[in-house]
Structure 1
Amino acid sequence: MTTNSRSAAPLLELEHVAKAFGSHVAVEDFNLAVAPGEFISFLGPSGCGKTTTLQMIAGFLAPSRGTIRLEGCDLTQVHPSKRGLGIVFQSYALFPHMTAAENVAFGLEMQRVSKAERAERVRAALAMVGLSGYEDRHPRRMSGGQQQRVALARALVIRPSVLLLDEPLSNLDAKLREEMQIELRQIQRELGTTTILVTHDQTEALSLSDRIVVMSKGRIEQIGTPQDTYERPSSAFVAQFLGKTNDFTARIEGAGPARIVAGGWSAPAPVGLSGPVTISVRPERIGFAETGLPGRVAARIFQGNHWLFQCETECGPAIVVRPNDGLAQPGEGEAVRLAWRPEDMSLRAGAAA
């Protein structure tokens, strides 16, 4: 298993990378250092620049400016086929006239690997993705999940310095996608292959990544571990895009010491903040308490292992998620008070939008 230490020298570096198509700026001032063995996800909505960035790393697009280095070497003038990268596309891009084994062997043939070594590496790669016995099967006779495994084996068999994944699970149904997420992470950890995943699926990024690069409109909004990015979003965009969140309008009152006040809820205020602020709290971090922000349950929904409550408060609407622990839950129309720990919230200056 890889250590994923970012104290090591970066394997891949992007410095001030930008890409423009005419007057449209697709990627602007992208900076990232990727450690050996790290699993990075580029996460964001369609059109945010994540795929464009991946294509610049792969060499399919040339940066308008900036530098991309792999193991200290500038990739700008290196042909895509010479970069030593493995790529899995959203469409898998398997050759329909080739068997699974022939598809996996294709990159090794381009590398002029001997026939005997090629056969052994293909066998091992297919076994690694759970496709032993499928060597002679053509893609048209394979399920979507099996085709995805062949594409992954084809990318890994060449022993790439970096594995690039362009939304490879998006064509799978929800159950199979979850299974493949687990398998992909296990394979990546076992091999220690540095991996960059492009995805718009927040759950996928949270479950697979060592770090997440959240992008919006061609720019990086935040880089951090899944836990840090989820629990301490640096902007309103990150808070809203990476799962559900509640934004409450609050204010800073008093001085020496000042307090954050939201209705009947309050807590010590950080130094340097004043005036109106916005409190962001994840739904599962809010509880019902005897004291706190007054509200009323507008609706409640039973979702099996938890309850979801929609509440109205003077500081804004709220979604509360509470576990189904067998205890009595407040009913619709019931008055409640909402409370949360200061460490479970993030703050930003200005009123909630």
Structure 2
Amino acid sequence: MSFLVLDHVGKNFGPQTAVEDFSLSVGKGEFISFLGPSGCGKTTTLQMIAGFLDPTRGAIRLEGRDLTTVHPSKRGLGIVFQSYALFPHMTAAENVAFGLEMRGVARAERETRVRDALAMVGLAGYEDRHPRRMSGGQQQRVALARALVIRPNVLLLDEPLSNLDAKLREDMQIELRQIQRNLGTTTILVTHDQIEAMSLSDRIVVMSKGRIEQIGTPQETYEKPASAFVSQFLGKTNDFAATVDGTTSPPRLAIGAWHLPAPAGVSGTVTVSVRPERTGFGDTGLAARITTRIFQGNHWLFQCETACGTAIVIRPNDGGAQPAEGEAVHLTWRPEDMSLRPAGDRP
């Protein structure tokens, strides 16, 4: 039985549709990310789960209980906001204890749980420190401890790491995932950061214009995107126009002047997508010329021009010789590394 269910949920603000036909079943202990650009409806969906917004249609159920008429404070959810929303006049311990006080937890138990929660997020010894004397990463940990100390049914995270610098954000991603795995708390994260979603999630819900584009594991959504939007939003991708030649046996897939076996059941004109790191150089393949070569530390990035448009190739920096700018090459890849979609599907 699914732990949290969103059943054809939608939200309108007047004539404007913010979320349309959103259906998702979340398992207990699962880490789900809502991923998409600004305005795609991911935060609106999170706020409907939290109870801050009422759905225009559809239902939200937690362990079979309809949450539609349940007050946010009665849903048993923990929430970490982008701004952390800490009380500046309270110490770290007082901030973490606030939710327990509101729930009438006895003082002795409250003190124990606050101490344990702060230790869990690496802030043992910071109990008496005020937010103004803490770094952004430390404030984020206090907000996380405050959400977890109430032992929520579901933890909701609204872009909690977006205010941190790149190195600290990466460190906090690792710590957040470890904490979530240790506690087994069902977690939903809202983010526009593709790397963050892929690093943390069991499954990703990719959203665009209020609708779900794809639901899948990080590997599924990255390697087998269901639409042009997913293909382009989740990292770089190479798109090539191709035609299936059904007059040959077996049928051949023509990409420019390069012909390779066509996947079963494919016909007509299609778009072939291949990730740059799965695109390589070979003796045969799609003819190209390198226009730009960039060294990026652990890998090289090549921009190439082909008869089918511009393509990117990413090769690991293994110490070997690399093609030079202006050099004629052939782009190639394994058949299993490409995905096909209708030719009219555009991001």
Paired amino acid for 1:32: L
Residue correspondences, number: 345
Aligned partners of 1:248 and 1:352 also within 8 Å: no
Structure 1 match to 2:91: 99
CA distance in structure 1 between the aligned counterparts of 2:175 and 2:80, rounded to whole angstroms: 15
CA distance in structure 2 between the aligned counterparts of 1:139 and 1:232, rounded to whole angstroms: 44
Structure 2 match to 1:84: 76
CA distance in structure 2 between the aligned counterparts of 1:279 and 1:141, rounded to whole angstroms: 53
Q: Does the alignment pair 1:217 with 2:217?
A: no
Identity between Structure 1 and Structure 2 (%) = 79
Q: Does the alignment pair 1:325 with 2:318?
A: yes
**How far has the Cα of 1:47 moved from its partner?**
0.1
Structure 2 match to 1:301: 294
Paired amino acid for 1:120: T
**How far has the Cα of 1:257 moved from its partner?**
2.4
Q: Give the match's secondary structure for 1:317.
A: strand
Q: 271-280 vs 126-135, which deviates more?
A: 271-280
Structure 1 match to 2:269: 276
Structure 2 match to 1:114: 106
CA distance in structure 2 between the aligned counterparts of 1:77 and 1:252, rounded to whole angstroms: 54
Structure 1 match to 2:129: 137
CA distance in structure 1 between the aligned counterparts of 2:259 and 2:115, rounded to whole angstroms: 62
Aligned partners of 1:26 and 1:218 also within 8 Å: yes
**How far has the Cα of 1:293 moved from its partner?**
0.3
Q: 269-278 vs 110-119, which deviates more?
A: 269-278
CA distance in structure 1 between the aligned counterparts of 2:344 and 2:238, rounded to whole angstroms: 13
CA distance in structure 2 between the aligned counterparts of 1:333 and 1:202, rounded to whole angstroms: 32
Aligned partners of 1:101 and 1:135 also within 8 Å: yes
Aligned partners of 1:221 and 1:234 also within 8 Å: yes
Q: Give the match's secondary structure for 1:203.
A: helix
Q: Give the match's secondary structure for 2:309.
A: coil
Paired amino acid for 2:119: A
1:22-37 paired onto structure 2 within 5 Å: 22-37=14-29
**How far has the Cα of 1:266 moved from its partner?**
3.0
1:1-353 paired onto structure 2 within 5 Å: 9-255=1-247, 256-350=249-343
Deviations 1:26-50 (CA, angstroms, capped at 9, x unpaired): 0000000000000000000000000
Aligned partners of 1:92 and 1:168 also within 8 Å: yes
**TM-score in terms of structure 1 length:** 0.96
Q: 201-210 vs 259-268, which deviates more?
A: 259-268
**How far has the Cα of 1:305 moved from its partner?**
0.9
Deviations 1:320-351 (CA, angstroms, capped at 9, x unpaired): 00011111111011000000011111101216
Deviations 1:261-298 (CA, angstroms, capped at 9, x unpaired): 11343332233322211100000001100000000000
Q: CA RMSD in A?
A: 1.0
Q: Give the match's secondary structure for 1:36.
A: coil
CA distance in structure 2 between the aligned counterparts of 1:47 and 1:351, rounded to whole angstroms: 24
Paired amino acid for 2:44: T
CA distance in structure 2 between the aligned counterparts of 1:352 and 1:24, rounded to whole angstroms: 25
**How far has the Cα of 1:352 moved from its partner?**
7.6
**How far has the Cα of 1:106 moved from its partner?**
0.5
**TM-score in terms of structure 2 length:** 0.98
Structure 1, unaligned stretches of length 5 or more?
1-8
Q: Give the match's secondary structure for 1:233.
A: coil
CA distance in structure 2 between the aligned counterparts of 1:101 and 1:43, rounded to whole angstroms: 32
**How far has the Cα of 1:110 moved from its partner?**
1.0
**How far has the Cα of 1:260 moved from its partner?**
1.1
CA distance in structure 2 between the aligned counterparts of 1:59 and 1:349, rounded to whole angstroms: 39
Aligned partners of 1:265 and 1:339 also within 8 Å: no
Q: 262-271 vs 123-132, which deviates more?
A: 262-271
Paired amino acid for 2:270: V
Q: Give the match's secondary structure for 1:333.
A: coil
CA distance in structure 2 between the aligned counterparts of 1:309 and 1:167, rounded to whole angstroms: 33
Structure 2 match to 1:6: none
